[in-house]
């Protein structure tokens, strides 16, 4: 059986962003997973039933640690002789692609699920552009997980268009619509969770799921919700996710609002987020930049419409006024108008909700994405880059 190595910077990306994909691939390849954090990686490896190899990687610019990781990966690839190395996330992509190129791996694949550099300027932007170009130069194939990302990569001149391909309709992993199904969470469980969180049966609930950072639009969201909460006393904002205090911390006023506004409820990262979608009415996702956001797929599969930024990825899942509302990123006035509209117009909200799940089912079912990626791997087997 040919060897397939999948690499992410941190194990949660294997566990959540690529959930069960490695388990599916192990029937066709000898799959090995590489990531940081040995303890969590081993736990994820057991869940996916694949062998693992820990390599410490950071999400920041850390040249010395990056060189150590690069050397460790190079030696491992030389020893293992994999047919395919497939990387995800920026740091794992850069180190993994350079190491696999140096080690002579035939197929070096990198999935692009977002470009953090888009929100960067000056010398740091120039450095990140160089890093991105280096990653793509070492890869034999680049898989953006949205058409918008494909266009950005081409426009920025990061690599030749013939190297780029989108798998299926986009998304890194699709969505399992049998698992993300509104019928799975009982009314009794919903009532219990609402009671636990202090949500009244008549409350209107906006939900956000993801990292609580500046570039996810959380500062703007809290600024807008402050106005919404004053005008509509029976609304709640449910934030599900963890704070990133190192990379992109929230403003002090935002943190204060989360802590002190009784209509804002924060819960940490959840292994099972379905009950939280089930007790909510609308997903709000005002991000500045995305690849292909899983939260919008999950919410849609759970029957929720979404208010999202009109940016790549988001606007490939949401059709404005059909299964959600698209707004310009960083536009607090547009966000306020959209949130107010879904509260005040039940028939419009019902229209969006009616379309939400069918539009996910028809385009992003998980097994379709997995089989398309497997077909890509099999096609590569007969070619050597």
Q: Which of 298, 238, 323 is nearest to 308 (CA)?
A: 323
In the sheet that holds 141-144, the strands lie side by side as 51-54, 30-35, 3-7, 84-87, 107-112, 141-144
Name the helix (H) or strand (E) containing 93.
helix 90-102
Q: What is the DSSP letter of 146?
A: S
pLDDT by position in tens, the chain (length 385): 999 999 999 999 999 899 999 999 999 999 999 999 999 999 999 999 999 999 999 988 788 999 999 999 999 999 999 999 999 999 999 999 999 999 999 999 999 987 877 777 888 888 888 989 999 999 999 999 999 899 989 999 999 999 999 999 989 999 999 999 999 999 999 999 999 999 999 999 999 999 999 999 999 999 999 999 999 999 999 999 999 888 789 999 999 999 999 999 999 999 999 999 999 999 999 999 888 899 999 999 999 999 999 998 999 999 999 999 999 999 999 999 999 999 999 999 999 999 999 999 999 999 999 999 999 999 998 775 4
Q: Which domains does the chain have, with CATH numbers?
A: 3-174+366-381 (3.40.50.2000), 182-361 (3.40.50.2000)
- The whole-angstrom separation of Cα 345 and Cα 318 is 19
**What's the pTM?**
0.84
DSSP secondary structure of 99-130: HHHHTT-SEEEEEE---GGGG--HHHHHHHHH
């Amino acid at each position: 059986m040919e060897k397939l190595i999948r690499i992410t910077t941190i194990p949660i990306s294997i566990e959540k962003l690529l959930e069960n994909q490695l388990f599916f691939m192990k029937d066709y390849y000898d799959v090995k997973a590489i990531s940081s954090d040995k303890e969590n990686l081993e736990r994820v490896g057991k869940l996916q039933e694949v062998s693992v190899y820990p390599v410490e990687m950071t999400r920041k610019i850390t040249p010395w640690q990056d060189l150590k990781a690069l050397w460790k990966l190079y030696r491992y690839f030389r020893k293992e002789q994999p047919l395919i190395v497939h990387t995800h996330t920026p740091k794992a992509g850069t180190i993994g692609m350079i190491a696999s190129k140096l080690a002579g791996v035939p197929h070096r694949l990198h999935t692009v699920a977002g470009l953090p550099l888009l929100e960067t300027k000056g010398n740091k932007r120039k450095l990140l552009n160089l890093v991105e170009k280096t990653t793509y130069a070492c890869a034999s194939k680049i898989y953006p997980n949205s058409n918008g990302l494909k266009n950005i990569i081409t426009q920025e001149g990061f690599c030749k268009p013939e190297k780029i391909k989108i798998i299926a309709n986009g998304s890194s992993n699709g969505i399992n619509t049998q698992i993300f199904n509104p019928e799975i969470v009982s009314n009794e469980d919903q009532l219990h969770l609402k009671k636990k969180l202090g949500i009244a049966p008549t409350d209107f609930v906006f939900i956000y799921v993801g990292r609580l950072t500046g570039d996810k639009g959380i500062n703007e969201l809290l600024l807008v919700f402050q106005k919404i909460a004053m005008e509509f006393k029976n609304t709640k904002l449910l934030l599900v996710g963890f704070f990133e205090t190192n990379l992109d911390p929230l403003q002090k006023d935002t943190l204060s609002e989360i802590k002190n506004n009784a209509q804002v409820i924060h819960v940490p990262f959840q292994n099972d987020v379905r009950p939280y979608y089930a007790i909510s009415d609308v997903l709000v996702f005002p991000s500045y930049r995305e690849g292909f956001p899983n939260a919008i797929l999950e919410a849609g599969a759970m029957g929720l419409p979404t208010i999202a930024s009109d940016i790549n990825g988001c606007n490939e899942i949401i059709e404005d006024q059909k299964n959600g509302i698209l707004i310009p990123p960083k536009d607090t006035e547009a966000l306020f108008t959209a949130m107010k509209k879904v509260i005040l117009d039940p028939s419009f909200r019902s229209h969006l909700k009616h379309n939400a799940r069918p539009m996910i089912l028809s385009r992003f079912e998980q097994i379709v994405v997995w089989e398309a990626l497997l077909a890509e791997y099999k096609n590569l087997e007969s070619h050597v880059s």
